[in-house]
Structure 1
């Protein structure tokens, strides 16, 4: 990227602008998703699921298409699915229903059950975004019985996050005609071991949880560093990316803890 100069009386010297990137694209870059078919999911208040499509512009009525970044005169494109409610569901359980004292309790509660016993959560508090685009959809908890307990609702809420992510990824696989090999994950809700393991199980691929919750800033720094040639090769930059939590293998495969 060409370096331009910002002249402002606040700074004693001109400040070089070495890289400009959006929030979701920054997370994609910071996760090392640099090739076509690489995919990341950010589990924030809502969720951004983004796939690098390389130099191919992919159009889908279920997803958004935009530029990922341009480096050394080469442009990468992305498809993205945004989800209105993901981590905010867990906050809703704490603040509105007061079912739990903290979002940290979600994983342990969900693990108490061997299944959801037919209880499902549709978190359409503000309608459903990608891939449904139904602004009139309403939230619902269905499948409850006289035996339904707090743990069932907490588990269903976490499962709802993963199902929404999977729906977007299925739309991406259809649009880009590719099978994903893994999912890179970041954001606050990745602290839930149950949620991450369930995500791996229903996708059937490993989920790599980044050491950092906020990977967008890392991606911005990496891009700027490339702009002023702090690093001279991709391998140097990729070494900055750390996944120091569990790598969640899908159900039926060997599960092990690693640092990569």
Structure 2
């Protein structure tokens, strides 16, 4: 926004006259879908701009001022399930329909998974991963390397989250396929991980672009630690799969320490959740139940649920009607401790600070 104001002819003048709108993609979509009648966003998307004060729940004058932005030109911030106007998709629909669900990507997934109570946690497995824990109506400030953000606003109240984002989770599988040529398809990883030697301590630390939460070391480099004579293709693939679960466990442990609650259940979504080996190992190493639903696209399901609930089309039993596959911890406590300590030691070898 600051770049546009400085470099696009007439933008600064329009901003000074209040003739310009600044916002995120959702506010642009609402504006376009309603024919310019409404320019609104919700708390989850507003919190992503870094211009919104998540404690005062309004655009931050001081931060906006640093970028030369007038908060009056930002979108109106509303509850995620509020009335965002009506649309007929520019004449495509025979009549207008209300827009009643606006949520950010990870926030939509958290809501769609039914993580409505404090302590409930979800992990989205994609190219990278987003892990979120609902901490309720009072913000929890992290001292263990994760961040505090807004979950959503519903019925006049906001919920906060603790969140950790990872750079390389599903992208590790892509690396094994595209760059190392160890697999031809991600589907192969499950069988290879199953047949690999299980009693070694081989770790892949995927710091290809540094490490995100909870380490925050942009200069860390990737490494394979613990190779021996039995290390072959299957073992490296298994280490690639397992590093996804280890990283998510790091985040879960950090959140648990900050919030003072044990994560008894992790609700997951995304393509890699089809890998049964990964899901069982995630349950084993995090020592928690892992729930895998029969749907994947919770970033879209979440706002759809929010809209339906707001309009009374269904009630909260909608979250209970989901088919889920449950994985429970099967690893012995001593082995879990040994393996996780090995992971932490492997990570320590790549950290620069």
Alignment TM-score, normalising by the size of structure 2: 0.67
Bigger Cα displacement from structure 2, 139-148 vs 187-196: 139-148
Could you tell me which residue of structure 1 aligns to residue 322 of structure 2? 241
Match of 1:26 among 108, 124, 132: 108
Compared CA separation, residues 131 and 252, structure 1 to 2 (3 A): closer
Q: List aligned pairs for 1:178-197, cutoff 5 A.
A: 178-197=261-280
State whether residues 39 and 182 of structure 1, in contact with CA within 8 Å, keep that contact through their aligned partners in structure 2: yes
Could you tell me which residue of structure 2 aligns to residue 81 of structure 1? 164
Give the superposition deviation at 1:14: 4.4
In the aligned structure 1, how far is the partner of 2:306 from the partner of 2:323? 17
Could you tell me which residue of structure 2 aligns to residue 136 of structure 1? 219
State whether residues 108 and 301 of structure 2, in contact with CA within 8 Å, keep that contact through their aligned partners in structure 1: yes
Which is greater in Rg? 2
In the aligned structure 1, how far is the partner of 2:247 from the partner of 2:82? 39
State whether residues 41 and 183 of structure 1, in contact with CA within 8 Å, keep that contact through their aligned partners in structure 2: yes
Give the superposition deviation at 1:239: 3.3
3-state DSSP of counterpart to 2:136: coil
State whether residues 3 and 227 of structure 1, in contact with CA within 8 Å, keep that contact through their aligned partners in structure 2: no
In the aligned structure 2, how far is the partner of 1:51 from the partner of 1:158? 23
3-state DSSP of counterpart to 2:184: coil
3-state DSSP of counterpart to 2:187: helix
Q: List aligned pairs for 1:38-57, cutoff 5 A.
A: 38-57=120-139
Could you tell me which residue of structure 2 aligns to residue 65 of structure 1? 148
Give the superposition deviation at 1:70: 1.5
State whether residues 116 and 155 of structure 1, in contact with CA within 8 Å, keep that contact through their aligned partners in structure 2: no
Compared CA separation, residues 4 and 102, structure 1 to 2 (3 A): closer
Match of 1:36 among 109, 118, 131: 118
Give the superposition deviation at 1:7: 6.1
Bigger Cα displacement from structure 2, 6-15 vs 83-92: 6-15
Could you tell me which residue of structure 1 aligns to residue 52 of structure 2? none
3-state DSSP of counterpart to 1:136: coil
In the aligned structure 2, how far is the partner of 1:13 from the partner of 1:147? 66
Could you tell me which residue of structure 1 aligns to residue 231 of structure 2? 148
Could you tell me which residue of structure 2 aligns to residue 170 of structure 1? 253
Could you tell me which runs of 5 or more consecutive residues in structure 2 were left unpaired when the two chains were aligned: 1-80, 333-353
3-state DSSP of counterpart to 1:53: strand
In the aligned structure 1, how far is the partner of 2:237 from the partner of 2:84? 50
The root-mean-square deviation of aligned C-alpha atoms, in Å, is 1.7
Could you tell me which residue of structure 2 aligns to residue 90 of structure 1? 173
Match of 1:228 among 308, 311, 315: 311
**Residue 83 of structure 2 is aligned to residue 10 of structure 1:** no
Bigger Cα displacement from structure 2, 21-30 vs 137-146: 137-146
Give the superposition deviation at 1:19: 1.4
In the aligned structure 1, how far is the partner of 2:279 from the partner of 2:87? 46
Could you tell me which runs of 5 or more consecutive residues in structure 1 were left unpaired when the two chains were aligned: 254-260
In the aligned structure 2, how far is the partner of 1:104 from the partner of 1:16? 41
Could you tell me which residue of structure 2 aligns to residue 101 of structure 1? 184
Compared CA separation, residues 186 and 116, structure 1 to 2 (3 A): farther
State whether residues 45 and 85 of structure 1, in contact with CA within 8 Å, keep that contact through their aligned partners in structure 2: yes
Could you tell me which residue of structure 2 aligns to residue 258 of structure 1? none
Give the superposition deviation at 1:187: 0.6
Q: Relative CO higher for 1 or 2, CA cutoff 8 Å, sep ≥ 6?
A: 1
